[in-house]
């Protein structure tokens, strides 16, 4: 099936895809859009925002990089407010 998807991807114009799949194809190519359809076709899936996906790891990094006085630098680095940095540091691990 993989070879067929590769072959068909070269023949399918992006305009023939649904609007949602066109957006996927612009990022991952038509082959990627076809593979997504192959695996999840007919299903409704929820894709969380990037902030939700990286929040836990980001917070661990912030706590590891915190020196006790560098709230402002961390806020700038992670595009957050100093108040948000203070909350993360205060909350501690986990």
pLDDT reported for residue 1: 66
How many CA atoms, within 13 angstroms, populate the side-chain half-sphere of residue 90?
A: 7
pLDDT tens digits along 1-14:
678 888 888 899 99
Name residues whose C-beta falls within 8 Å of residue 33's C-beta, 6 or more positions apart in sequence. Answer: 17, 21, 22, 24, 25
- What is this structure's pTM? 0.61
Q: Which domains does the chain have, with CATH numbers?
A: 2-40 (no CATH), 50-91 (1.10.10)
Residues near 65 by beta carbon (within 8 Å), at least 6 away in sequence = 74
* Pair of tokens at residue 1: 């099936």
| pLDDT > 90 fraction of the chain, expressed in percent and rounded | 78
The answer to whether 29 and 51 have CB atoms below 8 angstroms apart is: no
Task: Give pLDDT tens digits for 55-81.
Answer: 999 999 999 999 999 999 999 999 999
């Amino acid at each position: 099936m993989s070879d067929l998807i590769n072959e068909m991807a070269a023949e399918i114009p992006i305009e023939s895809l649904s609007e949602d799949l066109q957006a996927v194809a612009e990022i991952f190519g038509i082959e990627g859009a076809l593979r997504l359809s192959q695996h999840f076709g007919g299903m409704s899936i929820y894709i969380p925002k990037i902030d939700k996906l990286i929040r836990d790891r980001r917070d661990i990094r912030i706590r590891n990089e915190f020196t006790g006085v560098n709230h402002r630098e961390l806020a700038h680095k992670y595009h957050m407010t100093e108040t948000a940095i203070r909350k993360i540091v205060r909350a501690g691990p986990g």
